[in-house]
Copies of this chain bind each other. A is one copy, B any other.
Amino acid sequence: MRISELSRSSGVATATIKYYLREGLLHAGELTAATQAQYDDSHLDRLRLIRALLGPGRLSIAEIRGVLAAVDDPPESPNEMLGRASESLEPQTGGERSRSDAVGEEYRQQATAIVDELGWRVAANTKVLDDLAQALTAIDQAGLALIPGGVLAYARQLHGLAVAEVATVPMDSPEAAVRQAVLGTILIEPLLLALRRLALQDAAGRRFDGTDAPLA
């Protein structure tokens, strides 16, 4: 199909498609004349993935480039492909609040020790260990009291959910797998945090006001 038809089928404006082509997010069509190219279903699939990552996923162009690189140059295993795609994502853990401080080696070791104790196998160089170290630093500096079982108690609950989440990833195509894995990683985060704050409201009401008193 020509670019005008690709635009109609995908609902993406021609100018936007051209922008994706220039940015290398979308692979070139097959040239049929000096100024005309043919596009196919692979372009439609790719456009759908880009739109989902940019739209509901709110990834930056740089992040999308990283995700697509993992799809286009798939490593040996699907796990490695999903891992590379995920590592392209900026941490959204706590927004700006968790970004700027340097992480001490002590907390980096504590993060690794926690993962070891859980028996989790994660990429040795994953930047998520830095995010964990950062979170541990702030908790320690604030002198925050943790729940019984501490960090491990949180980890075990989240692992059960993670196993169920990974089971939702389809393996029909690298695009479909990356789409579900990357969007799942990102879009479930605000869901979890909103549900947690609501759960805290309910739990506080039950503890401090008794179950029958109306909340303010």
Contacts and interface: CB of A to CB of B under 8 A. Distances in A.
Given A79-B209, A93-B190, A128-B194, A121 B200 contact: no
A115 interface: yes
A52 interface: yes
B141 A203 contact: no
A175 interface: no
Contacts of A55: 141-142
Contacts of A98: 58, 190
How many copies of this kind of chain does the complex include? 2
Contacts of A190: 93-94, 97-98, 131, 134-135, 138
Interface residues of A, number: 97
Interface-centre pick from A92, A158, A213 (highest chain B CB count, 10 A): A158
A17 interface: no
A110 to B, nearest CB: 12
B199 A162 contact: yes
